[in-house]
Structure 1
Amino acid sequence: MSASNPPLNRGTTTTTTTHPLSLWDQVAPRNYMSIVLCFSSAQTHPSAQLSVSNHLRTALSRLASRRREFAGTLHLGGPGSTNPHHVLLSTSPAHHIPLHVVDLYDESDTRYEGLREEGFPARVFVDRRLVVSGELRPGGKRVPVVQIRFVFVRGGFFLLVYLHHAFGDGSCMDALLKELGDETRLGADLVVEDEQEETEEVDRTFDIDLPTGEGGGNGFDQLLKQCPEYGLLPEPTGPTQPILPPIEGIECHDLEEKIFIIDKNRLDAVRQQLSNSTPCQGPQPTVSRYMTLAALTWAHTTRARLSTSCLSPSLLAHHQPTLFNSHDWLSPTKNLFPTNHSLRHYFGNSISWAVTRFPSTASLISSCLPSSPPSSSSSLNPLANLATGISNFNTTISAPHIQTRTRLFSAIPDIRRLGLALDARLPHYFSFNTWLHLGSRATFLFPSYGEGDDRQKKPDAIRRVQGNCGLPSALILPDVGTGEGEIWLLITLEREAMGVLEGDGGWMGICREVIGSASVLGETVGGDDDAAIFI
């Protein structure tokens, strides 16, 4: 492994500025949000690799100079600070964004084209050698906000991007990719499409003044009861990690990930049928494509998991079927706090959790699609109830909802003890998330691409990077033009349950293809990492 770019502005004053981060940053997982962008390249000999890495190094230097926060470092407050368990951001003109070129694979045996033909299986990027620790320890060393790594293979390369979750969420990662891509194209005399975006420089803020509102029960215990998606971890290993109490007979170690390519037309046909069912009367479906897919995924994965679970029915009966899906309350379409000026240029975390609880596993499983087309819209009433239920729970995320949780984050004595009441080891607990638009605006230029405008390129794929498979969940992968009319859905399940899901005629009826977990890079190495929750 070779480190790259030296600090900027060696001859200038290296004043360091410390910035407080918002309470919503404080409660975010304290690890790196890790992704890989896959690029093909006709030239991968050593001189071409050096040219590519030098080109990116220059782009990163420009980005660090213009957006110092991306070159910043994170550390815990420590003694004397307002809260020793809170994370602080430090910026300086001397900081740089770390870039490393990593030798992991034998290029003579590793073919990029073979990976592309396989659809870039998720398992390829479940490898502890690709994971960067973002652990923040009291008195420990400072951690970079952003880190970049290159991995070259024959016929292409992987650009690994690590953004610390305590600094930002998926929308921040999307902004980072967009700006990094722009920097790689700067000065290349290329025609860049007018994206009609605001280009003026703004003074971004990393903390917010969010009124906590009024309401009963301002003590921590009372606030925790008002926020049922949260609970207390037995040790300060959080925040926002799942609470996993000891349960006799529960195991969740033999997991695998596969990508299901969903056919949008088939999914929309289900939505149209839902519009004719009793819960969704009207000329247009009252649930979105996203909610329909979330409902179908939860129902069918639960049925597959229950059919292979060895847990007793009495144990499961004590736990109500629960779905977590992340919800960006600061999205422009939400506009929950239109007059709050501190949010106007805020750059940081703004993810809450919409939690759907269903009466019973029987009612959840009855929402599954039949193997053959339904005979009438009334047979889809259970699915319509489930989809509208998920949609309704998402609408509960309002200004008072956010204010109550802000009060909770402020009141907890040690924010590292705050965990999620999401035990996805249970077969009827699940989480659903989307990265659909992550990276969709980013276009890159690297010198190995060719001549003129042909050098501008979007990645062939964007995948999640992990040290091992996380808990059972589903994630809509970024759309970088992978296929017309398709949604690429990454599902993590127990291996036996995955086999049942692939044999489910109702579920496979909305799928075009399944991309398996076999890797052309050879056996991947699982390992411990702290990436159980990505938001």
Structure 2
Amino acid sequence: MVDFTVPVYEKLASWNQNARREYISACLCFPYDNMHPRSAVIQHLQAAVSRLQKKQPVIASEIHLYRQSGMLYLAYNPPNCFETDSSVVTVEERPVDSLGDDFPRAYQELRDLQWPPGFFMDKHQLLGLGDFSIFPRARAFRLQVTFLEDGFLLWVHLHHSVGDAACLSAILVSIAAETCGDNDSLSPPMTPLQPAKLTASIAPDISWHDLATSCPELGLFPENTPFDSVATPLPRLDPPPPAAQPYTSAIFVIKVDALKNIGEMIRLVSCVDKPPSIFVVLSALTWNYITRARKRRHHTSAMRLQA
């Protein structure tokens, strides 16, 4: 007799193993007239995400950490199996009090402040989402809603081990399509072994040689391999918690009108009929800022050496 309640475990590919073990998140702000009960809003979102998880089964999976090897495994239910609590994406209501005393309680107040980025940065870490040092498993995808006086916030969390920012943007488009009843905007399904199929920049079946050639900055190689001489040996892929990893954060506040103008400039230079999507424009701007920051940092380091 087959037990359809037992999930299938698949070890994630090398690229996914090396990704930051934390969530990448987006927060969408909506006005809300309070004419309909909050339960109706949650039911509408729940129906949309329930339809989406049948088309994108990977969002209903869990990520498990095998402590002995430090490897991550994707746990998901096989097709046509019985649904369990761990195999269903549930819309969670996130109280506004959990966001801190300084967080605005009204949508209009948040809008008047022009959406301060500090209110949305790293708020998901308050719930301990994706911290394997506390609990050796995490949901691949979480959807939360916070109600304000005249609006609500929709928090979307995708674990970095199963997808990148392009995957998160595709899920946002798919959720929007499901809530509006439009199935034409849905993205191709992500598979457990190839969650980053939506982007050509990530190869789930990448080899160590390809990884070293494409991304030399990673430098993650086990001992006794042909490439252990080019980087510090790392016998197990078990990185420290995100808080212990030194990195620099940046907040970009860009108005929609500016994005449209830049997109129109890109269209004219590229000699195409349609302007690129906002995600393409944001990617170009981010890359520009990162490049300028790295050049500035390199120039500063050179000046210090000369001094």
Q: What is the TM-score when the length of structure 2 is the normalising length?
A: 0.63
Partner-residue secondary structure (3-state), 1:171: helix
Give the one of 345, 360, 363 matched to 2:302.
Answer: 360
- Aligned equivalents of 1:174 and 1:266: distance in 2? 21
SS of corresponding position for 1:176: helix
1:223 match: secondary structure = coil
Amino acid at match of 1:167: V
Deviation string 1:46-95 (CA, Å, 9 cap, x unpaired) is x521110111111222222332211111111245xxxx211000012431
How many angstroms apart in 2 are the aligned matches of 1:24 and 1:240? 21
Q: Report what 2:174 is aligned to.
A: 179
Give the structure 2 partner of residue 22 of structure 1: 13
Task: Tell me which residue corresponds to 2:58.
Answer: 69
Q: What is the identity, as a one-letter code, of the residue corresponding to 2:91?
A: L
Richer in helix (by share): 2
Alignment of 1:30-45 (within 5 A): 30-42=21-33, 44=34
| CA shift for structure 1 position 221 | 4.4
Assess, with a 3 A threshold, how the Cα gap between structure 1 residues 172 and 258 changes in structure 2: closer, same or farther: closer
CA distance in 2, matches of 1:116, 1:218: 54
Q: For the Cα contact (< 8 Å) 2:96–2:105, is it kept in 1?
A: no
How far did residue 99 of structure 1 move?
Answer: 2.1
Q: How does 1:119-518 map to 2 (within 5 A)?
A: 119-126=114-121, 128=123, 131-133=126-128, 134-137=130-133, 140-186=135-181, 192=182, 205-206=193-194, 208-213=204-209, 218-219=225-226, 221-224=228-231, 236-237=239-240, 242-243=245-246, 259=253, 292-296=288-292, 321-322=297-298, 360-361=302-303
8 Å contact kept, 1:72–1:90? yes
Gapped regions of structure 2 (runs ≥ 5): 78-82, 196-203, 214-223, 264-283
Separation in structure 2 between the aligned mates of residue 212 and residue 256 of structure 1, nearest angstrom: 31
Letter in 2 for 1:178: V
CA drift of 1:30 comes to 0.9
Equivalent pair of 2:14/2:205 in contact (CA under 8 Å): no
Where in structure 1 are there 5+ consecutive unaligned residues? 1-11, 187-191, 245-251, 269-287, 303-320, 323-356, 364-535
Aligned residue identity for 2:194? F
Give distance in 2, aligned partners of 1:297 and 1:267: 20
- CA distance 1:202–1:91, shift in 2 (3 Å): closer
Q: Distance in 1 between matches of 2:253 and 2:110?
A: 14
SS of the residue 2:5 aligns to: coil
Q: Is the CA contact (8 Å cut-off) linking 1:29 and 1:238 kept in structure 2?
A: no
Whole-Å Cα distance in 2 between the matches of residues 265 and 59 of structure 1?
29
Higher relative contact order (CA 8 A, sep 6+): 1
- Distance 1:359-1:24 versus aligned 2 partners, 3 A rule: same
Deviation at 1:118, TM superposition (A): 2.4
Distance in 1 of aligned mates of 2:137 and 2:183: 39
Q: SS of the residue aligned with 2:240? A: coil
Letter aligned with residue 54 of structure 1: Q
Aligned-residue offset at 1:259? 3.2
Cα separation, partners in 2 of 1:164 and 1:132, compared to 1, 3 Å: farther
Q: How far apart in 2 are the matches of 1:19 and 1:35?
A: 27
Query: In structure 2, do the counterparts of structure 1 residues 213 and 59 end up closer, same or farther at CA, with 3 Å as the change threshold?
Result: same
Backbone CA RMSD of aligned residues:
4.5
How far off is 1:124 after superposition? 1.8
Q: Distance in 2 between matches of 1:15 and 1:258?
A: 44
The two structures have a TM-score, normalised by structure 1, of 0.39
For 2:95, the equivalent position in structure 1 comes to 103
1:196-220 CA distances to partner (integer Å, 9 max, x unpaired)? x876x68663383334449999456
- Aligned-partner Cα distance in 2 for 1:150–1:289: 29
Alpha carbons 1:27, 1:240 under 8 Å: kept: no
Specify the alignment match of 1:437 in structure 2: none
Cα separation, 2, equivalents of 1:146 and 1:85: 21
Query: Cα 1:85–1:220, aligned 2, differ >3 Å: closer, same or farther?
Result: farther
CA distance in 1, matches of 2:261, 2:157: 35
C-alpha deviation, 1:32, in angstroms:
1.4
**Does the CA contact (< 8 Å) of 1:29 and 1:241 recur in 2?**
no
CA distance in 1, matches of 2:95, 2:287: 42
Contact (CA 8 Å) 2:58, 2:191: kept in 1 or not?
no
Aligned-residue offset at 1:171: 1.3
More strand by share: 1
1:375-422 CA-to-partner distances (Å, cap 9, x unmatched) read xxxxxxxxxxxxxxxxxxxxxxxxxxxxxxxxxxxxxxxxxxxxxxxx
